[in-house]
Amino acid sequence: MIITIYAIVLAYFLLGFICFFFINSKKEIDRVHESWMKTIIYFLIFNLVFFSIVVKPVVFRFLSVIIVIEGFYELLRLFIKSGYKQKCFFILSILYYCVLSAGFLYFSMMNDWHLVLYSFMIVSAFDSFSQITGELLGKRKILPRISPGKTFEGFIGGTVVAVASAFLLNSLNHPDFRETFFLGAGLALFGFIGDASASLYKRKYGVKDFINIIPWHGGFLDRFDSFIAGGFWITIYGFLNL
């Protein structure tokens, strides 16, 4: 089964590479290089998380703790670098992040690694294809003051791919039709919320990236904000369906 799932992963990446080929054909050479390097690094990061879940779930749990701690550091770092500005906003942001992180850490400790892998793949599909459809078709800004690059077309495209992926991967988690739809749509929505929340925080402190720890990707929050929020959604969904 894992071989089949990974074959699906490679098919998604191949489709993404083809789309980026057309997207990059209209960009300047420097931006093309940056785009391809970013895509390659993302492929490596995806594989690291994918195989940490599949081969040794305890490694993924350890990685989740690192992500949360590093995320807290990145939030605190921007606050300190700003000269301790926006104190109320910072406190609310930390409380909000703690709630999301608690849900994400609970999610990472689940014994059902199939559900963890299922969720990671759907959030990743949303993340990737919201960017791809946004660059190919995007015209209407969805959050112009917070994240000018995000469009309604990108959000809709990413959501459609995420929900379709949930049904494609249905055999991995064995949910019914209703559960499949709500899991897929919820992961897309919370993935978007996580990304938008990180963008709002950066906008408040006037930076493009939290930190430059991951080449061409910024910080851990720049890379994992959607996954943290998606993991929180799975935890909430689980409690609502006890």
Segment 94-134, tens digit of pLDDT:
999 999 999 999 999 998 898 999 999 999 999 999 999 99
Identify the pLDDT of residue 242: 57
Does 37 have pLDDT greater than 70? yes
Could you tell me the pLDDT band of residue 153, with boundaries at 50, 70 and 90?
Answer: very high
**CA 28 remoteness from chain centre:** 27
Handedness of CA 56, 58, 61, 65 (dihedral sign): negative
With tokens 């959607």, the residue in question is 226
Average confidence (pLDDT) over 139-157: 92
Does 174 have pLDDT greater than 90? no
Identify the pLDDT of residue 78: 95
Burial profile 190-218: b = 16 or more Cβ within 10 angstroms, e = fewer:
bbbbbbbbbbebbebbeeebbbeebebbb
In the chain, domain spans: 2-240
Identify the pLDDT of residue 173: 66
